[in-house]
A = this chain, B = another copy of it.
Amino acid sequence: MFKISDTEVDFKDYGTPNSSWTSETLRLYNKFLTDSWMKFPSTRRLPLLMKRFEDLKTFPKGRILTRCTDEEGSMFEFAMFYSLDNARMACVAQFGPYLEGVPGIAHGGATAALMDQVLGTLAFLSLGRVMTANLNINYIRAIPLLSTILFDSELQSKEDRKATIICKVTSSDGSVLHAEGKGLYCSLPTCRHFCFSNRTTRHISHLLQCGICHV
């Protein structure tokens, strides 16, 4: 199995404040730090996965979509906090000017991407390695760029290799509901039924039903 050394991997946690954060984003971040939540690190790739897949050789410069930029503040700025007791993941975020849809307003895909990141991380904590099977988002009110927003996600149900997670996206004080969504995630088996390296990935729907594959 292909392995890369720790020295080749960027283990930096990018979910920490930088000069692009607004005072409100920083305030909410500090509030979570002092509450009963635990901060979850956010790296540019997935350390728990990256030693497993041959594709790391093919894409040595790969970066997770939500951590792909070197320019602080231009795209996604966020920090995730989790509470295992009640299976929740919160995310303090602000969207930079490169995430525009309608001028001045966040692209619907930006909300979808960060929601998938947050929900997928919570699913990972519940099931291990996962992929998204379904993502369903209601957009309620537009998100102005650089406003501070809060993703509050919660494990709704878990069964075998499936986890359903719900999420609300609100303003920093919770008074404005920007979006709400639901994600279905399925765990990845390590057996022959699923293989990234030769790109003969089986249907995700198969993973949801298969009684042979085990994580």
Assess the A109–B117 pair: CB atoms within 8 A.
Answer: yes
A34 close to B (CB within 8 Å)? no
A33 on the B face (CB < 8 A): no
Given known contacts A104-B55, A109-B66, A133 and B141 CB-to-CB distance under 8 angstroms: no
Output the nearest chain B residue to A100 by Cβ-Cβ distance.
Answer: B62
Q: Could you tell me if A196 and B102 are in contact, using CB atoms closer than 8 angstroms?
A: yes
* Size class of the contact patch on chain A: 35 or more
Q: Cα distance A116–B116 when bound, in Å?
A: 14
The answer to whether A99 touches B65 (Cβ under 8 A) is yes
Give the docked Cα–Cα distance between A68 and B136 (Å). Answer: 25
Q: Are B112 and A64 in contact (CB under 8 A)?
A: no
0 or 1 for each of A75-119: is its CB under 8 Å from B? (1 = yes): 100000000000000000000011111111101111011111100
A101 to B113, CA, bound (A): 10
Please list the residues of chain A having a beta carbon within 8 angstroms of any beta carbon in chain B: 45-46, 49-50, 52-56, 58-59, 61-66, 68-69, 74-75, 97-105, 107-110, 112-117, 120, 129, 131-142, 144-147, 188, 196, 199, 201-205
Given contacts A65-B109, A131-B139, A131-B142, whether A59 and B103 have CB atoms under 8 Å apart is: yes
CB distance from A54 to the nearest CB of B (A): 8
* Bound-complex Cα distance A138 to B101 (A): 23
Q: How far is the CA of A113 from the CA of B102 in the complex (A)?
A: 13
